[in-house]
Amino acid sequence: MSMTEKILVIGGSGLLGYYLKQNLTDADVYSTYKQNKLDFKKANFLDITNKNNLEKIFEKIKPNVIFHTAAITDLDWCEKHEKETYALNTNPIKNITNLAKRYNSKLIFISTDSVFDGKLGGYQETDPLNSINVYSKSKIEAEKIIKTLDNSLIVRGTFFGIKNNKESFISYLLKQLKNNKEINVPKDKISNGLFVNDFAKILVEMHYKKLSGVFHIGSSDYVNNFEFAKKIANVFGYEKDLIHETLFREIFHEKNLIAKRPLNTTLNTKKISALIKMPNFKDVINSFYENTNLRSIL
């Protein structure tokens, strides 16, 4: 008799964690939450900064696979709280890695496209990392610890989607458009992000293919944020002339941002594309449109 694989999604109450669970239909999935309680049988409270709590969860579940998605992702908060950022995004990784070794579990870590400085774009897995803010630095340091485990997979990329009242560029854009309000969007900021459900689907497929090491995932082609916003307006049937092009430094001042953001974090996806087909940006936008209920945010 074959045993169903036990999967632990750390950060199951987050945006990506939610979609991961939706896509892990063939497995025995356990999810963790901290502030945002999940209400199902296999949901567990977990504070990753608490070593004892981590040990208890591993002892109870003995996972074959861990998707580690918990992190602080608010860049400006991280910039002001360096110590707390490391305490959450980096330091617990040591304990998680040790527990993965002890229980012989595969560890899948979600990194970010912002481990690069964004000056060139088109980054390959082997390109040198260079962080320009505290958040990215904490993720680079986390990657270093993950790499000490042979049975690990580091996936770099970015994604967007809507969950509850979590503020994001995409929810702000849709709110402005819905209310017939103008919005400035930078044309010098560019990335090849995915709709979160597709990001999760690809992660699951990578796991099924038993990949390890470092991989970049993202759309196969891309447009800058200004063009992207216009495509979004178009597919949702909003007035695209409400969107004005600007430069990121203007947004930085307008919104009183604190952390520097890398401008061009496009990732070269050649390595993964030899194994799994990456969607193009039109697919990304259509997939977002088809899977998003605007009433949940507007």
Ligand X SMILES: NC(=O)c1ccc[n+]([C@@H]2O[C@H](COP(=O)([O-])OP(=O)(O)OC[C@H]3O[C@@H](n4cnc5c(N)ncnc54)[C@H](OP(=O)(O)O)[C@@H]3O)[C@@H](O)[C@H]2O)c1
Type of residue found at 192: N
Contact status: 34 vs ligand X (CB under 6 A): yes
Residue 105 or residue 112: which is nearer to ligand X going by CB? 112
Contact status: 79 vs ligand X (CB under 6 A): no
The distance of closest approach from Cβ of residue 37 to ligand X in the complex, given in angstroms and rounded to an integer, is 7
- When binding is defined by CB under 6 A, the residue of 23, 91, 105, 112 that contacts ligand X is 112
- When binding is defined by CB under 6 A, the residue of 44, 49, 98, 184 that contacts ligand X is 49
Tokens for 169, please give them: 């560029």
The distance of closest approach from Cβ of residue 134 to ligand X in the complex, given in angstroms and rounded to an integer, is 13
The distance of closest approach from Cβ of residue 251 to ligand X in the complex, given in angstroms and rounded to an integer, is 17
The distance of closest approach from Cβ of residue 47 to ligand X in the complex, given in angstroms and rounded to an integer, is 4
Contact track, ligand X, 115-134, x by CB under 6 A: --------------------
- Alpha carbons 42 and 21: distance in angstroms, whole number: 11
SS3 state of residue 104:
coil
Contact status: 110 vs ligand X (CB under 6 A): yes
Q: What is the 3-state secondary structure (H, E, C) of 154-207?
A: EEECCEECCCCCCCCHHHHHHHHHHCCCCEEEECCCECCCEEHHHHHHHHHHHH
- When binding is defined by CB under 6 A, the residue of 6, 7, 8, 17 that contacts ligand X is 17
235-to-32, 217, 227, 241 alpha-carbon distances in Å: 35, 24, 13, 14
The distance of closest approach from Cβ of residue 94 to ligand X in the complex, given in angstroms and rounded to an integer, is 15
**Residue (of 92, 68, 86, 89) closest to 17 by Cα position:** 68
SS3 state of residue 298:
coil
Residues 134-153 that bind ligand X (CB under 6 A): none
Residue 18 or residue 238: which is nearer to ligand X going by CB? 18
Q: Quick one: how far is CA 188 from the chain centroid?
A: 21
Contact 254, 229 (CB under 8 A): no
Tokens for 233, please give them: 């307006």
**Residue (of 48, 44, 47) closest to 60 by Cα position:** 44
Contact 251, 187 (CB under 8 A): no
- When binding is defined by CB under 6 A, the residue of 7, 48, 204, 278 that contacts ligand X is 48
Contact status: 165 vs ligand X (CB under 6 A): no
The owner of tokens 């608010």 is 74
Size of the site for ligand X (CB under 6 A): 23
Contact status: 238 vs ligand X (CB under 6 A): no
- When binding is defined by CB under 6 A, the residue of 73, 130, 184, 280 that contacts ligand X is 73
Contact status: 13 vs ligand X (CB under 6 A): yes
In sequence order, what are the residues at sequence separation of 6 or more whose Cβ sits closer than 8 angstroms to the Cβ of residue 122? 266, 267, 268
| Stretch of 28-36, 97-105, 175-183, 275-283 lying at the interface with ligand X (CB under 6 A) | 28-36
In sequence order, what are the residues at sequence separation of 6 or more whose Cβ sits closer than 8 angstroms to the Cβ of residue 293? none
The distance of closest approach from Cβ of residue 78 to ligand X in the complex, given in angstroms and rounded to an integer, is 10
Site residues for ligand X per CB under 6 A: 11, 13-17, 33-36, 46-49, 69-71, 73, 88, 110, 112, 158-159
